[in-house]
Amino acid sequence: MADALDTEWAVRWMRETARVVAENRVLLINLDRVIGDADHGENLDRGFTAVVAKLDSSEAPETPAAVLKLVAMTLMSTVGGAAGPLYGTAFLRAATSLGDAAEIDPNAAAAMIRAARDGIVARGKAEIGDKTMVDAWTPATESAETAAQAGATAPEVLTAAANAAHAGAGATEPLIARKGRASYLGERSAGHQDPGAVSTAFILQAAAETARELFA
């Protein structure tokens, strides 16, 4: 199937995520510093560095789902904090949604994003507008689904998701946090983007870019 995403893509996605997270480590730390505890970038960098090490050292996973499951387990056991279990759950649910398919078609891509998003909501109980990563995942899910329904390719679905996630992350700036660490600041949390929403946008952007590159 043309433009379908395979195991190789999943591996590239994760390596690219690791690169982008490392590159933006300080940015994410600083976002978290002003309304949180200054560790989000460090946590994700530690986690995705471990993911890459795991990918380098283990046998190549056989399906996209196997890749995402490996990522889920690695993040769960190396990230800690709020982001560890949330992203861990997200990747685990995403893996489950893919089953043992060898390739990911546009609808599967959208379903994967929804599964990730629903996993985060199930674990974290945040609603849209609470100034969390959910504010990036939710519009990403909706845009991905709209794109898939409109007949977009898988890379296009992911691109739609990434763009929406970026917009969603930007839109967290004026919000007053009601979940996570930023909620302790009350009104003082307004005026800054949520670090988890921003990292979500980076992750989905890595998905879109690696997908586009693979079919360029």
Partner 1 sequence: MKKLINDPRAVVNESVEGFGIAHADLVTVHPDPLFITRKDAPVQGKVGLVSGGGSGHEPLHAGFVGRGMLDAAVPGAVFTSPTPDQIIPATTAVNGGAGVLHIVKNYTGDVLNFETAAEMAEAEGVAVRSVLVNDDVAVEDSLYTAGRRGVGGTVFVERIAGAAAERGDDLDGVTAVAQRVVDSVRSMGVALAACTVPHAGVPSFDLAEDEIEIGIGIHGEPGRHRIAMEDADGITQRLLDPIVADLSLTSGDRTIVMVNGMGGTPASELYIMFRKVAQLLDGLSVTIERSLVGNYITALEMQGASLTILRVDQEMLELWDSPVHTAALRWGA
Ligand X SMILES: Nc1ncnc2c1ncn2[C@@H]1O[C@H](COP(=O)(O)OP(=O)(O)O)[C@@H](O)[C@H]1O
For ligand X, the binding residue among 51, 66, 70, 126 (CB under 6 A) is 126
Q: How near is the Cβ of 33 to Mg ion at its closest, in Å?
A: 9
- Residue facing ligand X at closest CB distance: 196
Q: Which residue from 23, 37, 173, 213 is in contact with ligand X, where contact means CB under 6 A?
A: 37
φ, ψ dihedrals at 190, nearest 5°: -70, 150
Provide CB contacts within 8 A for 138, sequence distance 6+.
117, 128, 168
Phi, psi (deg, nearest 5) at residue 165: -65, -40
* Tokens 């690696």 sit on residue: 210
One residue of 81, 119, 155, 196 binding Mg ion per CB under 5 A: 81
- Residue 12 or 114: which CB sits closer to ligand X? 114
Structure tokens given for 11: 């591996």
> Cα separation of 53 and 190, whole Å?
37
Integer angstrom CA distances of residue 79 from 9, 74, 76: 23, 8, 6
Give the residue with the Cβ less far from partner 1, 15 or 178: 178
Q: Which is nearer to partner 1, 143 or 189 (by Cβ)?
A: 189
Radius of gyration of the chain (CA): 16
Footprint (CB under 6 A) of ligand X, residues 137-176: none
Place of tokens 């199930």: 122
Q: Is 119 in the site for partner 1 (CB under 8 A)?
A: no
- Interface with partner 1 includes 133 (CB under 8 A)? no
Residue of 20, 70, 76, 83 interacting with ligand X (CB under 6 A):
83
* 54 binds partner 1 per the rule CB under 8 A: no
